[in-house]
């Protein structure tokens, strides 16, 4: 009976050499680490019919007891008949198999198993992957998206993405202090921890995006002022009605988020959710 892949991954991750290798990959990308851990779990399954596991096979390869190219070829054949437990038990796609082979090669190279590019090409039949040219959005496409969007902040987010070239996670992580409106065009600073390469960089946004962004920040400032006024009223009166209490808590929590995190993208849905009492941790009884 085939053992669940999740169990194999867990067992494989406990092996010291595997753990060391994956930790080195996690410095760049958690997604890569996860993908490579699945690849090595499949490799562990492949080796289960032999006397080796993913660690002991390294010495056998170094001592030339096993031919590395033959091993890769056999592993590819093994993957072709495997089913993807994460995709409704369908067969692994060629793209996925190629990724797993890349992961295994990276693991072997990490432990000084050398490959010859020429021999790899002649001795190992890599799965073919269709490579289609990606078509980027043109100005008309972006314009149509903006016209179809009825959410102000989403429109602004799209404008920032379109004009700066930022990844979505980079744009979502922007703080007030990362935007320099004194420069022309407006400069955007992306912190190292939010980039894929883990290196700081700068980008620029269009005048249109800059104007919209200023208006959004001004609106956030108004929300902070309102929250402070409500706080003063609360401290002076010591008692609020049920409805005012909920509104006060909504704006004040947003104020705290804005103050401590300096977040730009304060969602209107957040305000609405608090007003509609969707977050039940707020006391509904008058103080």
Structure-model confidence comparison of residues 256 and 162, the more confident one: 162
For the stretch 220-228, contacts whose Cβ atoms lie closer than 8 Å and that sit 24 or more positions apart, written own/partner, are: 220/258, 220/264, 220/266, 223/251, 223/254, 223/255, 223/258, 223/266, 223/271, 224/255, 224/258, 224/259, 226/251, 227/251, 227/252, 227/254, 227/255, 228/255
Q: Is 65 exposed, middle or buried (0-12, 13-18, 19+ CB in 10 A)?
A: exposed
Report the half-sphere exposure of 160 (CA within 13 A, side-chain side): 29
Choose the weakest-confidence range: 85-89, 138-142, 221-225, 239-243. Answer: 85-89
Q: What is the pLDDT of residues 88-128, one digit of tens each?
A: 567 888 999 999 999 999 999 999 998 888 888 899 888 88
The C-alpha atoms of residue 13 and residue 139 are separated, in whole angstroms, by 46
Q: What is the pLDDT of residues 164-210, one digit of tens each?
A: 888 888 888 888 788 888 888 889 888 888 787 778 889 998 888 88
- Residue 48 DSSP code: T
Beta bridge partners of 189: 202
The answer on pLDDT for 226 being more than 60 is yes
pLDDT, residue 159, reads: 87
Residue 281 has what pLDDT? 34
Type and span of the H or E element at 202: strand 201-204
Between 267 and 46, name the one with better pLDDT. 46
Q: What is the pLDDT averaged over residues 64-89?
A: 81
Percentage of residues in the chain having pLDDT higher than 90 = 16
pLDDT tens by residue, 234-252: 655 655 566 666 666 666 6
Confidence of residue 285 (pLDDT cuts 50, 70, 90): very low
* Predicted confidence band of residue 269 (pLDDT cuts 50, 70, 90): low
Strands of the sheet containing 201-204, edge to edge, are 179-180, 187-190, 201-204
Q: Is the pTM of this model over 0.85?
A: no
pLDDT at 72 over 90: yes
* 285 Cβ contact partners less than 8 Å away, ≥ 6 residues apart: 242
Q: Which long-range contacts (CB under 8 A, 24 or more apart) does 54-63 make?
A: 54/12, 54/15, 54/17, 54/18, 54/107, 55/15, 55/16, 55/17, 55/18, 58/17, 58/108, 58/111, 58/113, 61/108, 61/113, 62/112, 62/113
| pLDDT of 283 higher than 90 | no
């Amino acid at each position: 009976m085939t053992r669940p892949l999740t169990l194999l991954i867990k067992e494989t991750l406990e092996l010291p050499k595997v753990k060391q290798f994956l930790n080195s990959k996690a410095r760049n990308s958690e997604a890569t680490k996860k993908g490579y851990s699945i690849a090595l779990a499949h490799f562990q399954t492949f080796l289960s019919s032999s006397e080796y596991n993913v660690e002991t096979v390294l010495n056998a390869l170094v001592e030339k007891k096993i031919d590395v190219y033959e091993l890769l070829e056999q592993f590819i054949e093994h993957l072709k008949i495997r089913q993807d437990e994460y995709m409704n038990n369908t067969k692994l796609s060629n793209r996925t198999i190629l990724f797993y082979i890349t992961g295994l090669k990276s693991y072997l190279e990490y432990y000084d198993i050398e490959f010859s590019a020429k021999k790899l090409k002649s001795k190992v039949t890599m799965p073919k992957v269709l490579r289609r040219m990606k078509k980027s959005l043109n100005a008309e496409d972006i314009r149509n998206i903006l016209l179809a969007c009825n959410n102000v902040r989403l429109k602004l987010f799209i404008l920032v993405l379109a004009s700066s070239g930022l990844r979505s996670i980079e744009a979502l992580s922007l703080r007030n202090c990362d935007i320099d409106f004194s420069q022309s065009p407006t400069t955007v600073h992306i912190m190292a921890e939010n980039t894929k390469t883990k290196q700081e960089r700068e980008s620029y946004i269009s005048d249109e995006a800059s104007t919209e962004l200023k208006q959004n920040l001004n609106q956030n400032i108004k929300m902070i002022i309102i929250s402070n006024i409500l706080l003063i009223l609360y401290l002076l009166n010591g008692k609020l009605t049920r409805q005012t209490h909920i509104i006060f808590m909504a704006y004040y929590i947003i104020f705290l988020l804005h103050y401590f995190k300096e977040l730009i993208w304060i969602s209107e849905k957040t305000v609405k959710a608090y007003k509609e009492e969707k977050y039940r941790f707020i006391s509904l009884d008058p103080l």
